Amino acid sequence: MLAKAAPFLARRALIGVLTAGLLAGSALASTAGAETLTVWWNKGFYPAEDEAFDQVVAEWEKATGNKVNLSYYSTGDIPAKIISAITTGQVPDIAYADLNDFAIVPQQAWKGALEDVSDVVKPVENKFTPTALKGANLYNDQEKKRSYYAVPLKQQALHNFIWKPMIEEAGYSEKDIPLDNWDKYWAFFGDAQKKLRAKRQRVFALGFPMSTVDSDNYYTFNQLALAYGARFVKPDGTLNLDDPKAKEGAIKAITFLTQAYADGLVPQGAINWGDPDNNAAFFSKQIIMTSNASVSIPVSKSDDEKTYHEIITQPQPTGPDGQPVSSLVAVKIAVIPKGAPQVKLAKDFLSFLIEPERLDSYLRAARGRWLPVMPELIKSDPFWTDPTNPHIPVAVKQELEGPTEPWPFVYNPAYSQVNAEQVWGKAIGDVITNGLTPEKATEKAFARIREIFAQYQIAQN
Partner 1 sequence: MAKATSERAPPLTRSDTGRQPRKLAPEHLWGVVFVLPYIAIFLLFVVYPVGYGLWLGADWTKLQALFADPLYYRTAVNTLILLLVGVNLKMFIALLLSGYLLQPYKWMPFVFMLIVLPWAMPAIPTFISVRWMLNGQWGLINNFIWTFWEIEGPGWLTSPSLAMGSVVTFYLWKWVPFWTVIFVAGRTAIPKELYEAAAIDGARGLQMFRFVTFPMMASLYLICTVLSMIWTLGDYNTVRFITGGGPVLSTHVLATLGIRDAFEVGDPGLGMAAVISALPLLVPLVAFLVWKMNKEHVQL
Partner 2 sequence: MSAAETAPAHAVGKGGIGAHLAALLIALLLLFWTLLPIYNMILVALEPGDSVFSGALWPETFSLENFRIVFTQDHWYLKHFWLQMLNSLIVGLAAAFFTVLIGSMASFSIQRLRLRYGTLLSNTALLSYAIPLSFLAIPFYNILHNYGLLDNLWALIIVAVTFATPYAIFIFSQYSASIPIELDEAARIDGASVPQIYFKLYMPLMRPALVAVGTYALLLAWNEYLYAFLLLSSETTVTVPVALGYFLSSDDSPWNILMAAALIYSIPPLVIYYAMRRHMTTGLTVGSVKG
Q: Is residue 449 within 8 Å of 418, Cβ to Cβ?
A: yes
Distance CA 268, CA 293 (A): 21
In degrees and rounded to multiples of 5, residue 384 shows phi and psi of: -75, -20
Distance CA 452, CA 238 (A): 12
Give the range of 159-167, 309-317, 387-395, 416-424 binding partner 1 by CB under 8 A: 416-424
Nearer to partner 2, 312 or 374 (CB): 312
Q: Is residue 385 within 8 Å of 428, Cβ to Cβ?
A: no
Q: Is residue 296 within 8 Å of 279, Cβ to Cβ?
A: yes
Query: Closest by alpha carbon to 441, among 275, 253, 296?
Result: 253
Residue 107 contact partner, candidates partner 1, partner 2, none, CB within 5 to 8 A by sort of partner: partner 1
Please count the residues of this chain forming the interface with partner 1, following the rule CB under 8 A.
Answer: 35
Distance CA 151, CA 136 (A): 6
Residue 300 contact partner, candidates partner 1, partner 2, none, CB within 5 to 8 A by sort of partner: partner 2
Count how many residues are written for the chain: 461
Residue 103 contact partner, candidates partner 2, partner 1, none, CB within 5 to 8 A by sort of partner: partner 1
Q: Is residue 110 within 8 Å of 130, Cβ to Cβ?
A: no
Give the range of 17-25, 105-113, 130-138, 144-152 binding partner 2 by CB under 8 A: 17-25
> Is 440 an interacting residue with respect to partner 2 (CB under 8 A)?
no
Nearer to partner 1, 13 or 63 (CB): 13
Distance CA 389, CA 387 (A): 5
For the segment 59-78, give every residue that binds partner 2 (CB under 8 A).
71-77
Kindly tell me the number of DSSP H helices and DSSP E strands found in the chain: 20, 12
> Is 5 an interacting residue with respect to partner 1 (CB under 8 A)?
no
> Is 74 an interacting residue with respect to partner 1 (CB under 8 A)?
no
Among the listed residues 368, 393, 429, 438, the single contact to partner 1 using CB under 8 A:
429
Nearer to partner 2, 97 or 423 (CB): 97
> Is 284 an interacting residue with respect to partner 2 (CB under 8 A)?
yes
| Least distance between partner 2 and beta carbon 136 (Å) | 25
| Least distance between partner 1 and beta carbon 278 (Å) | 12
Query: Closest by alpha carbon to 333, among 131, 147, 95, 110?
Result: 95
* Angle in degrees, CA 401, 118, 219, rounded to 5: 40
CA 290, 295, 301, 307: dihedral to nearest 10 degrees?
A: 50
Amino acid at 37: L
Q: Is residue 246 within 8 Å of 233, Cβ to Cβ?
A: no
Nearer to partner 1, 32 or 80 (CB): 80
Distance CA 263, CA 189 (A): 13
Among the listed residues 17, 58, 262, 280, the single contact to partner 2 using CB under 8 A:
280
Distance CA 74, CA 60 (A): 23
> Is 422 an interacting residue with respect to partner 1 (CB under 8 A)?
yes
> Is 284 an interacting residue with respect to partner 1 (CB under 8 A)?
yes
> Is 288 an interacting residue with respect to partner 1 (CB under 8 A)?
no
The number of CA neighbours under 13 Å toward the Cβ of 266 is 23
Among the listed residues 2, 4, 387, 435, the single contact to partner 2 using CB under 8 A:
4
Q: What is the binding site for partner 2 (CB under 8 A)?
A: 3-4, 7-8, 11, 14, 18, 21-22, 25-30, 40, 43, 45-47, 71-77, 80-81, 84-85, 87-90, 202, 274-276, 279-280, 283-284, 286, 296-297, 300
Q: What is the binding site for partner 1 (CB under 8 A)?
A: 15, 79-80, 83-84, 87, 103-104, 107, 200, 202, 204, 211-213, 267-269, 271-272, 274, 281, 284, 286, 417, 420-422, 425-426, 429-430, 432-434
